[in-house]
Amino acid sequence: MKSLTLRNVSKTYFDPYAGAHVTAVSDASLAVGQGEFVSIVGPSGCGKTTILNMIAGFIPVSSGEILLNDQPVKGPGPERGVVFQSFALFPWKTVLENVGFGPKMRGLPKAECDKIAREYLALAGLADAAERYPNELSGGMQQRVGVVRALANNPEVLLMDEPFASVDAQTRMTLQEELTRIWQERRPTIIFITHDVSEAVFLADRVIVLSKGRVLKELAVPLPRPRVWDRLIEDSAFKALSGQVLQLVRSA
Amino acid sequence: MTPLLKAWSLYVRWTARFPAVRSIVPFIPVVALWAIVAASGLFPPVFLPGPADVVRSFGSLVYKGILPDYLQDSVVRLAVGAAAGMALGIPLGVLVGLNARARNMLWPILLFFQAIGDIAWLPILLIWFGFSLTTMTFVIVYTVLFPVVLNTALGVRSVPVELHRAARSLGASRARVVWEVVLPGALPNIMTGLRNGLGFGWRALIATEIIVGTSGIGFLMFDARRAGSVVEILLGMIVLGLLWYVVDGWILAPIERATGQRWGLVTQ
Ligand SMILES: Nc1ncnc2c1ncn2[C@@H]1O[C@H](COP(=O)(O)OP(=O)(O)OP(=O)(O)O)[C@@H](O)[C@H]1O
Ligand SMILES: [Mg+2]
């Protein structure tokens, strides 16, 4: 069963100063199965964020359609959780309140929201940070709060825009392993945007290479799970796939 | 050296225990200078009374109940005006900040009326409403309103679009976003608007009381001028300064410390 479908989706921005149209995404089609983990890679400016924003419902499509379980996407909704590259945590809410925000919007009582939030914070090793404000956390911790906040709302689809771009290499590897572990436990559909090729291959069931607003190629990643860096980093299949994707991205 | 060090250590310990001491100490040389100049006989005492005279006048006016009454009148007027100004200004600022059409329509009008300063309205208000409380309230609300509207709008627009989107994709309705994201995000600017508004409002109130007044600190000072009592004029001036100190130190600053500064939206 296909959960998310993009059918010939295009997006054209109008630049009022130049008086010209800029095509960010053209004729992109994509089908993502329920519980599937898909990465989208591509060079800077190829339209990755634009695609994600359209799926999230933040910006309308110029043509084509986006369907979630056969329903057209109109505006943002809680069934599509988003993890932002810039974290987008609410500075005036504690970590606990940030993570409990989704449940609160669903109308759950405060005690219930806190309970859910604590559960998810524990999952990400953030139990001790619950009462702190985001500005009192390190970048890596803020990013994990961002991920956990989206997860705590139990979305059907999780949209992640270069979520690990702003942390150091070691932390990033840990976060990637944590993410695959969490995904295996709860199985949301994940669309993960990155320009890091090995990250895309490490995480996903399928890698989609984007070029100038078009889908250049789709590649299946048949590597076994659970995936851990200690094992994969020397794995020949992983290396071969990464090399292939890298070449596609560079030719893009 | 040791007595000096001892005094220093005493000062440090006291200011740690009573932060108010830190704001009093800088005034000691100011008051001392005033006392010396007044005592030197450079100016006749009726022109420049010393601190002791002012304190004595303070005592007698408090004793007669005039000062507490007038102070209460002024403070209540300001508080009512400020509350009304905020009740109007914050929603208007949010509207102007969020809605491009409302902004395009209202912004020029706001700038136009902001330029007509508070007391520039007095001549026409006196014709419309006479020497009344309505006139005074109008002036204060007017003065508080504009800084609050303009700063609130600025604050609303400074909230990153990602935060709106995050809230929406977590299931918040548009109305909820205003309450959960827009208002707290704009709060540091709203506080700035309130601070400016209260500052201008306070000045406008005194000016209005001088012209319209039948009571209040401004009236006290102007009435004292008629009686030629420099002591009471000075007392009025000091009360004005002290009152601002209290409003800032006991109301505005603590709110700012607990919100914007705590959240890392404003640097300390
Ligand atoms: N609001 C906008 N108005 C006009 N043009 C835009 C707008 N947003 C994006 N674009 C253009 O659309 C194209 C795709 O942008 P997008 O942000 O989707 O790229 P990206 O793949 O996410 O890049 P990066 O990896 O650098 O984040 C770019 O050429 C960009 O200049
Ligand atoms: Mg991007």
Position B20 scores a pLDDT of 73
Using the atom order of ligand 1, give the atom closest to the CA of residue A53.
18
Is pLDDT above 80 for B100? yes
pLDDT in tens, A43-87: 988 999 999 999 999 999 999 999 999 999 999 999 999 999 889
Contacts of residue B264 in chain A, CB cutoff 8 Å? 91, 133-136
Is pLDDT above 80 for B213? no
**Over pLDDT 90: what percentage of chain A?**
75
**A98 CB within 8 Å of a chain B CB:** no
Distance B48 CA to ligand 2 centre (A): 69
Distance between CA atoms of residues A191 and A82, nearest Å: 10
DSSP string, A185-234: HH--EEEEEES-HHHHHHH-SEEEEEETTEEEEEEE----SS--HHHHTT
Alpha-helix residue ranges (DSSP H) falling in chain A: 48-56, 95-99, 101-105, 110-123, 139-152, 169-186, 197-203, 229-232, 236-251
Pick the closest to residue A212 from A160, A159, A162, A251 (CA basis).
Answer: A251
**Residue B259 token pair:** 């919100």
Nearest residue of chain A to residue B260 (CA atoms): A92
Is pLDDT above 70 for B114? yes
Ramachandran quadrant class, B132 (left: phi over 0; alpha: psi -120 to 50; beta: rest): beta
- Which ligand approaches the C-alpha of residue A47 most closely? 1
**A11 CB within 8 Å of a chain B CB:** no
Q: Are A41 and A200 in contact (CB under 8 A)?
A: yes
Rg (CA), chain A: 18
Ramachandran quadrant class, A47 (left: phi over 0; alpha: psi -120 to 50; beta: rest): left
What chain B holds in terms of domains, given with CATH numbers, is: 53-262 (1.10.3720.10)
Distance between CA atoms of residues A10 and A54, nearest Å: 10
User: How many residues would you count in chain B?
Assistant: 268
Q: Which of A15, A44, A49, A214 to mutate to test the pocket of ligand 1 (most atoms within 8 A of CB)?
A: A49
- The model's confidence at residue A215, banded by pLDDT at 50, 70 and 90, is very high
Position B131 scores a pLDDT of 86
pLDDT in tens, A223-243: 998 899 999 888 999 999 999
Rg (CA), chain B: 23
Position A139 scores a pLDDT of 85
Cα torsion angle, B20, B26, B28, B34, sign: negative
Position B268 scores a pLDDT of 58
Q: Which residue has the tokens 């929201």?
A: A113
Position A80 scores a pLDDT of 96
Position A34 scores a pLDDT of 93
Of A119-133, B19-33, B155-169, the range with the lowest mean pLDDT is B19-33
Position B4 scores a pLDDT of 86
Q: Which residue has the tokens 């994201």?
A: B181
**Residue A93 token pair:** 């809410």
Is pLDDT above 60 for A1? no
**Over pLDDT 70: what percentage of chain B?**
99
User: Residues B21-40: what's their mean pLDDT?
Assistant: 86
pLDDT in tens, A154-183: 999 999 999 888 788 888 898 899 899 889
**Residue B226 token pair:** 């008629």
| Cα–Cα–Cα angle for A127, A130, A135, rounded to 5 degrees | 125
Position A61 scores a pLDDT of 95
Yes or no, beta carbons of A90 and B180 under 8 Å apart:
yes
**Residue A139: CB partners within 8 Å, gap ≥ 6?**
A166, A167
A38 has which bridge partners? Answer: A191, A206
Position B158 scores a pLDDT of 94
**Residue B160: CB partners within 8 Å, gap ≥ 6?**
A86, A88
Yes or no, beta carbons of A92 and B165 under 8 Å apart:
no
Position B1 scores a pLDDT of 65
Mean pLDDT for all residues in chain B: 89
Q: Are A59 and A212 in contact (CB under 8 A)?
A: no
Pick the closest to residue A134 from A82, A175, A93 (CA basis).
Answer: A93
**Residue B124: CB partners within 8 Å, gap ≥ 6?**
none
pLDDT in tens, A103-157: 999 999 999 999 999 999 998 889 999 999 999 998 888 988 999 999 999 999 9
Position B243 scores a pLDDT of 87
Position B38 scores a pLDDT of 87
Distance between CA atoms of residues B27 and B29, nearest Å: 6
Position B8 scores a pLDDT of 86
